[in-house]
Amino acid sequence: MRFGFVVPALAATLLAFLTSTNEAAACGGCFVPPSQSTVVSAHRMALSISPKQTVLWDQIQYDGDPESFAWVLPVKPGAVIEVSTDAWFDTLDAATTTQIFQAPVDCGNGSSSFGCGDALAGRSFSASEDGSNGGGGPSVTVVHRGTVGPYQTVTLSTDTPGALNTWLEGAGYDIDPSTQPVIDAYVAEKFDFIAIKLLPGKDVKAMTPVRIVQPGASPTLPLRMVAIGSGANVAITLFMITEGRWEAKNFGNVVTPVDLLSWDFKTQASNYGELRTKVLAQNGGASWLTAFAFEGGLLAQLPGLFSFQGFRTYTTAGNGSFADSIAAAYVQQGLANGEATDGSCSESFASVGKSSLMVSNPCPAGVPLDDPSCGGVAPGEIDARTLACGALDDLAVALNGLHPKDVWLTRLEANLPRAALANDLVLQPAASQETVDNMQQARIGTNVDVFCGDGSAAPVPGGGKKTGGDGRGPLVVAFGMALAAIAAAARRRLGVTRA
């Protein structure tokens, strides 16, 4: 699927498309039969944390036979697995991808640059899979079996070291003996395991997103499982939905040095990718980059980079529908995807986003929001069901137990070396609660003569050219952002418009 972010300021419409690298990554172990060569090529995660619950979303893209592997994740007892929507990740990813605009240039002859920009995903993917439909012996308890969307699911529990490996081997998967200490460590810590596998005959190339709902706050991502089947480095993108801005507790935290951003007018590209690589290499590679962080990032209309009217508006190309928040854009994208037919729930998003009341889901764990067994919410609470448009219920699930006015959306990125996977990622409220904008304008211009032509722009130290203004001047830009093809190529494009 492809998305576009469009920023018209005066009159022109110019396009510059995203270039990104798909990097294999994972948040679970990879268990594949020895006769198969299935390779996970992409992975996206989101994590919502409240006192009531912790929700982990995951999506995998893979090459090869999707029936030849399964995916296993350690979870706390009581966790349930549910199917999510493509629109959820599509919108989170598109709306928070880093975008760099060209530096403003004063040519000294009355002309100035109009700021066409590029969008660099910095987005990471991870590989997450495990064997999942074998016959367990007496040491492994099958807590639950079921079907979720196109998947067979099984929840396993054991307190016996080595038992889960034996169970997976019994299912016909090639289990490396070196993985047993990792799995046994999770067993000793009283984790259960959820395994999913594509149902026979379900020929899909992109994993339908799933979410794991666990009771209570659990600000930990099981990175130790990533080491199973991973390469020298594992790239990960994590979307955090929390009260306040959050960051890594037991890893380094970094941000891009925006004052060093430069724009080459000859290649029409920035040096953002190089700067990002350097900051992620800090702390021996055990660093997490905060690429986007906004209070109200889901439900509020966010300020824009330039000074025209100052706010971003999202639009789905082809149907002319506009949305003023990422949450509303999620609904519009779901409608465009055919995942829902009614988007009326988005009408309440703006008012809910200003509320200090707690969102509450009155339905039992694992029960759909429209199930007759659902009860009612307490006085002074927001009914989570009002935030769901049919199957588009990810927002309602994400906000359960949270106070919308205090909710931040944060995008974290990492490219972790294998040695860093010896520890799970522990998350905590960030030391800095400042906004991090994914829309940045380069401060330095190079090869400016390509634009100015007569060489009248004054040179600056380092071989660049003098740029005018403070990086916030008028800009006439419409720029596209191409994302990885997670869904069918025929999908419509989601846009973000600067009002």
Phi-psi region of 82 (alpha: psi -120 to 50; beta: other; left: phi over 0): beta
- Strands 494-498 and 3-6, by their bridges, are parallel
Least Cα distance to 47 among 299, 247, 285, 301 occurs for 247
Residue 219 CA to residue 247 CA, distance in Å, equals: 10
Least confidently predicted of 291-300, 329-338, 461-470: 461-470
Quick: pLDDT tens for 284-313. Answer: 999 999 999 999 999 999 987 654 467 888
Query: Which of 159-173, 203-217, 407-421 has the largest mean confidence?
Result: 407-421
Confidence of residue 400 (pLDDT cuts 50, 70, 90): very high
User: Which residue has 């409240």 as its token pair?
Assistant: 50
Contact 416, 43 (CB under 8 A): no
Determine the pLDDT at residue 309.
67
Q: Give the CA diameter of the chain.
A: 82
> With bands split at pLDDT 50, 70 and 90, how would you rate the model's confidence at 181?
confident
Instruction: Please tell me which residue, 294 or 315, carries the higher pLDDT value.
Output: 294
* Collapsed DSSP state (helix, strand, coil) of residue 86: helix
Q: Which residue is it, tokens 């004052």?
A: 259
Q: Which of 8-22, 237-251, 366-380 is least confident?
A: 8-22
Round to whole Å and give the CA distance between 191 and 424: 13
A 10 A CB-CB count for 471 gives 19
Least confident segment among 236-250, 294-308, 430-444, 460-474:
460-474
Distance separating alpha carbons of residues 427 and 443, to the nearest angstrom: 32
What letter represents residue 100's amino acid? I
Mean pLDDT for the chain? Answer: 75
Three-class secondary structure of residue 8 per DSSP: coil
pLDDT, average across residues 129-136: 34
Q: Is the confidence at residue 229, as pLDDT, over 90?
A: no
> Given pLDDT bands bounded at 50, 70 and 90, which one contains residue 215?
very high
The total of structural domains in the chain comes to 1
The domain of 170 spans 3-498
Kindly report, residue by residue over 35-78, the tens digit of the pLDDT. Answer: 555 444 446 889 999 999 999 998 765 555 555 566 778 888 88
* Least confident stretch, 213-217, 265-269, 492-496: 492-496
- Give the DSSP H/E element, type plus range, for residue 182: helix 180-188
Q: What would the two tokens of residue 348 be? A: 């309440």
d(C-alpha 165, C-alpha 127), whole Å: 19
